[in-house]
Amino acid sequence: MVSPAQSRGKRGPGDQATHLRSVPFPHAAGARFCATRERQVELRLPFARLVRAPGGAAVDERAIMAILDHACGAAMYAALPEPLPIATLDLRVAFQRPVPDGADILIAARTTHIAGMSAFVEAQACAADGGPPLLTASGAFMVGAHPGGATGSDMPDPWQPARPIEIGDLSQLDSFEKFLCLARHGRHVRMEFADHLIGAVSLPALHGGAVAALLATAAADLAGTERATRLVAMTIQYLRAGRAETLTANAEWEKRGSRSSVVAVVARQAHGAREVARAQCTFVAA
């Protein structure tokens, strides 16, 4: 879920780079705009301490998934004749290959179809030095609505920040998990709010990629208690905008098998009363 802090009107290639810098979450994570074509965008996520897997030497798969989500939204803006608010409805991600150590990641996204308020995007992430896709994604979006589905004259201006956004010093963080501000409390995983997790500046609201990463973390924590430890597929449904506050995820088994397992996970706010997003995650034995 993203909202550009930019003026209305036709955009050119330079505006995509401005848009990326205006959204706190991908900008803070180090994502960089590479190129735009009709209905397509390309981003680069450099290998860095902020986005690496805990204790590893590769970019965290959750970070790649999060920037895939952002690239899908950026491809939507590249396809629209004029800037409009958009909201992610559904994102499906396949984790195809392990991420190579030390590699920068190139992410390409393309809008495949727009019909009325519905739009569809495909994306893939590859190592910068080439090779087959590491992750692929497809997403369904709503055009003309903010995250959460708000439409009409009472909508806030999607290109104007609702308040000043201040990103603190992130230089001491040494993993993407710390970048997400995660804390574990029993079977619950909490993402403590910080301004660098914002995606929709006009509300403000949490970035959809950050929400997806939280869901994946809670699911992996549960799956890690069994033999099914490799996440291979994930489908995320975005139900409401994640407010600028703590978000908590809880995972439950849907299937527990010796070779594959399925975990359902839900992210909530307002002490559990407000459901923000849910996901179904498929794991296989490592």
> Quick one: pLDDT at residue 162?
78
The verdict on residue 257 lying in a domain is yes
In angstroms, the CA 141 to CA 271 distance is 28
* Tokens 């839900």 found at: 266
Q: Which two tokens stand for residue 83?
A: 């800037």
Residues 6+ away with beta carbon under 8 Å from 123: 68, 71, 72, 75, 107, 108, 109, 110, 136, 137, 138, 139
Interhelix angle for 61-79 vs 13-22, to 10°?
130
> Quick one: pLDDT at residue 138?
98
Name residues of the chain where pLDDT drops below 50: 1-14, 153
The verdict on residue 45 lying in a domain is yes
CATH code of the domain covering residue 239: 3.10.129.10
Whole-Å CA distances, 262 to 66, 88, 139, 214, 277: 21, 23, 21, 17, 17
> Quick one: pLDDT at residue 8?
36
The verdict on residue 51 lying in a domain is yes
Q: Strand ranges (DSSP E) for 116-222?
A: 118-127, 135-143, 182-185, 188-191, 198-200, 205-206
> Quick one: pLDDT at residue 78?
86
- Contacts of 50-53 with C-beta under 8 Å, sequence gap 24+, read 50/170, 50/173, 50/174, 50/175, 50/176, 50/179, 51/176, 51/179, 52/174, 52/175, 52/176, 53/99, 53/175, 53/176
Q: How many domains does the chain have?
A: 1
* Tokens 């209905």 found at: 39
The verdict on residue 136 lying in a domain is yes
The verdict on residue 159 lying in a domain is no
The verdict on residue 244 lying in a domain is yes
The verdict on residue 127 lying in a domain is yes
The verdict on residue 4 lying in a domain is no
pTM for the predicted model, two decimal places:
0.90
> Quick one: pLDDT at residue 11?
43
Q: State the sign of the Cα–Cα–Cα–Cα dihedral 279, 265, 97, 24.
A: positive
Q: Are residues 23 and 10 in contact, defined by beta-carbon separation less than 8 angstroms?
A: no
- Structural domain of residue 212, as residue ranges? 13-149+174-285
